[in-house]
Structure formats: C-alpha cells, structure tokens
Structure 1
Amino acid sequence: MNRKIEDLTFPKGQTKLTEAQREKLFDLIVILSKNPAYQIAISGHADAGEADSCSAGRLRSVVNELTKRGNISATRIVEVDESKFKPVSTTNRDKNRRVSFSLTTTSKQDVVRQFNVAKANTLTLEEGYFQKGDNKFIDGITWKTGKQTLEKSGRFVVIDVTNVDMARTKTLGEARGQVINDYQQYLEKNWVESLRKQFPVQVNENELKKLK
C-alpha cells in the first residue's frame, strides 16, 4: 500500500521549519507512532532559482523533527535529495520549494483499514489454518494451492491457498482449544454429578400439586 501525504512547502531559500510546519509534522508523527508497520520516504526539493543546498537542508530539517521530536526510528525513513530535478510547476514556483512524503506498508491489516475508511466492511481479511466446516467460502472451493475467486451475495471473495495438508491427526498445538473445551466439559459434568450425590434432590409432591 502507498499513501500520499500533503507536501510541506517553504519560502524561497528557507530550510528551517516554522511552527506551522512543525504542527503539520506532528500529525505525521502521530500517524507513524500509531502504525509501526509504516515506512516513509521523504524527498527534499528546490526550485531552479535556489541554491543546490536548499533541498538537502529542508530534507534534514524534516528528518530531524521526526527522529528527535517524534522519536521515529531512522530505520523507518528513506531520505531522497531530489535537488531541482523534479519540479511540479512552471508557473507557481512556490510548489517546487517543498518536502514530499510517501507512506508505505506491508501490513495487510493496515491495507484493510485504509480501504474501510470511507465505508465500513468494504474489505475484510481472514488468515489462518482452516479445516472442513470452519469457513463457508473455503468449503466452496477446490482444495488446491493458488488463488481462487468467488462471488457471494454481490461481494467478491479472493482465496489464496498456500498449502493443503493431507488428512492426519492434529498436533496438540492445533487441537489445544478443543482439548481445553472438552476437558472443561468433563470437569463440569463430574462436578454436577458429585453435587447430585452429595445433595440429592427430593420433590415434595404435596407442594407440587398446589402449584398446578
């Protein structure tokens, strides 16, 4: 997933951050802090009428703000000094004096969240180890590796099968949930039986008849 962030523009020749720019970067710091899987590419730009050092100076100011004030790890940041080679306008040079941003992530859950911003449940994702009866969509496909597409109730379902196991006995780790559930039921059954032996139930027929 690639997510675009609004550019930060600078007056001619300026490389230091203003308070207004720091406030905008604080919003970016919050996004990065809340989404540890995000990586960010930061590009410094200069206009043709500026010194070559302006793009690098702007880039360094922004990176320092993120790493020092925001405590964002430098390993999550890709720095690119574009110098004067990527202007975005020939009529409004203010737009060329900028720092641009691009967020990327390999987290599937982050992708799901972005798809669902405008409308909930536009995209759902489920991963795991499934057996027959666990998932109605998986039950409806041919059990083989590869991607398969279904359409159910107006929605498209893409299933990517990475492995199909032969029939076998489950490992303890795979069966742990069922084992715990069965054991709890066993304990509860024995407990109820012991209570019945210890405190036998007697029905008073005369009192019961009064209720009818």
Structure 2
Amino acid sequence: MQDYLKSIYLINRESGESVSTSEVAEKMRVSAPTVTSMLVKLGEKKFIKYEKYKGATLTKKGEAIALEILRHHRLIETYLVEFLGYDWSEVHEEADVLEHHISEELERRIANALGNPKYGLYGAPIPSADLASIAKDETTKLGEHISGDLVMIERVKENYIGSENSPRTRDSEELQYLAEIGIKPGEKVKVESVAPFGMITVSNEKGSHSLPKEVSMSIHVKKI
C-alpha cells in the first residue's frame, strides 16, 4: 500500500495531474489489473480519490503516508552515505527496503545525527517531520536549456524514462559515472551544444561531457 501511495505522489508531483493506472503500473512494474484492484482498495480506505478512466489523486490522509515514507527513504539514503561509508550509487535499493521498517524514534535520531537536512542525497527535498506539503518544484530540466546557459544542478532523479519510453532506475555504474564527471547537486555546468536529436553537451571543471536526452531530462537545474 505504501509503495502505491508513494508512486502516486511522485508521479503527480511531476505532472500536476491525476495519475493513471498505466502510469502507476509502469512505475511499479506490475500489471494494470493489479494496480486497478489496489486503487479501488485505496479509494475505499480514503487514501486516494479514484475514478475509473480519470485516474487517482491523493487525499490528505494518503499524502501524509506518502510523505512519511519519502522522509524515511531520503533520510536513510543520506545516513548510509554519511555514516556507513556507502557510495551514493548503492543506497536507493537499500532505502526502498528499509523505509517501511524504521520506527519514528529511529527516524528522529537519524535526522538529528544528520543535522535535520532539508534535501536528500540526490537533491530532492526531504519532507519535514510534521509532514507538511512540499513547495512546488521551481527547477527546470537540463535538457530544456540552450547553448550558453549556465546552470546549477539541483537534483538528479533516481528514476527516469529511458530510451525505450519505459521507467528505469539508474544503475550503480551510471550514478558513479555522473559523480565522476561532476553531475551532482550543487555543481555548476554550462550547456555547450544541443544536437537536433537531443544529445546535449555540457562542460564543467572536469571537462566536456555529452549526455543522452533521457539523462539530461532527468537532471533538474536552476539557471544562474
């Protein structure tokens, strides 16, 4: 149940619209009938508002659960890197498992140990302890920028739409490579060129780097 609510929240945050059965099925890699069955149950429990063919939106009750799971997830990812020596490329799957099993006391202690951070390892906001709604994302996507733009990287998404037009999770080698070339939150890059078919070339203090469109569209930035 929690994974469904989290997925609906994340999809809606990107699109701002009701979330379809197919979108949830793609993100969670399950069948559409399985999703439909769960959405009906979540609707009956007042976690979502769901209408067949119109999609689902979270209620306040459902949003609170989604935010709590996201808070657990992003705190755990950061803690694993800061205190247990993990690389940022290793922690997403670990957090996917652990996010459902930590107590509120452990969550509080992890947050305190980290200094109560506002942003997670990949740059996404960490929901506050009171689970208040997160402000609208004001970033743009790197792949939307033009030659000459100087931007600050704000967030690198763990999941994105791949070249086959299906959701995928970055593997550890890809995250390691992005870190090695300076594509991480807090780093500046300049857009050098954009090819007609979408390949974008950026430069930073570590050199010049060409990124496929699906990768550049999953990196959120702010223009400087």
* Fold match (TM-score > 0.5): no
Length-normalised TM-score, structure 2: 0.24
- Highest RCO, 1 vs 2 (Cα 8 Å, sep ≥ 6): 1
